[in-house]
């Protein structure tokens, strides 16, 4: 088992095949859940790389300390804010699976934007009460500005789709530049400029200490009164109470919420402290933007390719720095 890639969570047979294909035949793969106690200890001590979903659940309390020679701890999820990364051995690179679910999430973003702009849920509810609001105007996306906060894999995929509707693309990322085409791009210091220009704001950046509570009452107040905010990332990036108050005060402002503040996968339950779903200017979904057929297998392929980079001595993509860890 020396030099093996250790998979720390249960994986379906098609995903096992996809991982083996991505890593290559020259690197053995060990499935941790198939081993006895002694086998688990040996596998973790000698692993060249670890593929995990949530090490707090995948590994037993004493096992993170056993990881000694791994070149990479790779996570299958794009967001790792709910994983206690600080409990893992210092000095071993940690990577998220950034962009793994970008294509389906971008489609979901567009669906939510269209539902808000075309008032689909509002008019569906009106029809059920006998109202036929044929001449109540809705909005077109052509000629409008989409601001993307977090111009990584998801943001870029969303921009490509919305550009086809004739939207201008403004973006903010940490680097302040991108190889992908945009009409304007800035760094995080330029957030206010992005907010003021956006007819649609798509939030697709990771939750870190720097992005927690990033959007509050002041930031919402900079936005257009009829803007559409789409949160695909994490609920905690937007302050819950100020968003609810803003929606109440600005009925033409829409919030499309896929990422909530308390969710089952990260917190063990679903809860909202304000009744967002009672508001007509909210479009909600249960953080299922990535839940499409085949998405899991594609994520495994991407994770495997990143592991392969590390084993080849190349710098892995989507490394998580110490200052980006929530736990």
DSSP string, 132-190: --TTS-----TT-EEEEES-SHHHHHHHHHHHTTT-EEEEE-SSS--SS--SEEE-GGG
Q: How much is the average pLDDT of 144-169? A: 96
- The percent of residues in the chain predicted with pLDDT above 90, rounded, is 89
Q: What angle do CA 74, 234, 56 make, to 5 degrees?
A: 40
Flag whether pLDDT at 151 surpasses 80.
yes
Q: CB under 8 Å to 66, separation ≥6 — which residues?
A: 41, 44, 45
For residues 198 and 184, what is the distance between their CA atoms, to the nearest angstrom?
A: 11
- List the beta bridge partners of residue 254: 228
Q: How much is the average pLDDT of 255-274? A: 95
Is residue 99 very low, low, confident or very high in pLDDT (cuts 50, 70, 90)? confident
242, 214 in Cβ contact below 8 A?
Answer: no
DSSP state of 316: P
For residues 255 and 113, what is the distance between their CA atoms, to the nearest angstrom?
A: 9
> What are the start and end residues of each CATH 3.40.50.720 domain in the chain?
5-99+294-324, 102-284
55, 12 in Cβ contact below 8 A?
Answer: no
Q: What angle do CA 182, 176, 258 make, to 5 degrees?
A: 70
Q: Please tell me the predicted confidence (pLDDT) of residue 324.
A: 86
Q: What is the CATH number of domain 5-99+294-324?
A: 3.40.50.720
Q: How much is the average pLDDT of 242-260? A: 98
Flag whether pLDDT at 1 surpasses 50.
no
163, 175 in Cβ contact below 8 A?
Answer: no
Flag whether pLDDT at 327 surpasses 80.
no
Task: Compute, in degrees rounded to 10, the torsion defined by CA atoms 102, 103, 107, 109.
Answer: 10
pLDDT digits (tens, 9 = 90+) for 190-207: 999 999 999 999 999 999
For residues 237 and 306, what is the distance between their CA atoms, to the nearest angstrom?
A: 27
- The percent of residues in the chain predicted with pLDDT above 70, rounded, is 99
Q: CB under 8 Å to 208, separation ≥6 — which residues?
A: 81, 323, 324, 325, 326
> What separation in angstroms does the CA of 180 have from each of 160, 287, 309?
9, 27, 23
Q: Which CATH number fits domain 102-284: 3.90.1150.10, 3.40.50.720, 3.40.440.10, 3.50.50.60?
A: 3.40.50.720
Q: What is the pTM of this model?
A: 0.90
DSSP string, 242-256: HHHHHHHH-TT-EEE
User: In this structure, what token pair is assigned to residue 63?
Assistant: 């096992």
Task: Compute, in degrees rounded to 10, the torsion defined by CA atoms 261, 266, 268, 269.
Answer: 20
């Amino acid at each position: 088992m020396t030099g093996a890639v250790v998979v720390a969570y249960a994986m379906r047979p098609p995903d096992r095949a996809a991982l083996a294909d991505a890593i290559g035949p020259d690197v053995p793969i060990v499935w941790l859940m198939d081993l006895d106690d002694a086998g688990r200890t040996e596998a973790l001590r000698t692993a060249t790389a670890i593929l995990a979903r949530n090490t707090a659940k995948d590994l037993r309390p004493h096992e993170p300390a056993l990881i000694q020679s791994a070149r990479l701890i790779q996570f299958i999820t794009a967001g790792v804010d709910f994983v206690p990364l600080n409990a893992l051995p210092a000095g071993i690179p940690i990577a998220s699976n950034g962009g793994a679910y970008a294509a389906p999430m971008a489609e979901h973003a567009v669906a939510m934007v269209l539902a808000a702009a075309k008032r689909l849920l509002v008019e569906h509810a009106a029809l059920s009460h006998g109202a036929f609001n044929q001449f109540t105007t809705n909005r077109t996306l052509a000629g409008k500005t989409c601001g993307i906060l977090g111009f990584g894999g998801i943001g870029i995929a969303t921009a490509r789709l919305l550009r086809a509707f004739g939207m201008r693309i403004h973006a903010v990322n940490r680097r302040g530049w991108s190889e992908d085409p945009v009409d304007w791009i800035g760094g995080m210091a330029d957030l206010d400029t992005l907010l003021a220009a956006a007819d649609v704001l798509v939030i697709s950046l990771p939750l870190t200490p720097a992005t927690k509570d990033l959007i509050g009452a002041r930031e919402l107040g900079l936005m257009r009164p009829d803007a559409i905010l789409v949160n695909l990332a994490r609920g905690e990036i937007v302050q819950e109470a100020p968003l609810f108050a803003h929606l109440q005060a600005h009925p033409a402002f829409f919030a499309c919420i896929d990422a909530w503040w308390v969710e089952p996968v990260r917190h063990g339950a679903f809860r909202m402290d304000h009744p967002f779903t009672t508001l007509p200017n909210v479009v909600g979904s249960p953080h299922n933007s990535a839940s499409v057929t085949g998405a899991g297998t594609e994520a495994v392929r991407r994770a495997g390719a990143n592991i392969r980079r590390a084993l080849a001595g190349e710098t892995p993509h989507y490394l998580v720095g110490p200052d980006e860890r929530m736990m």
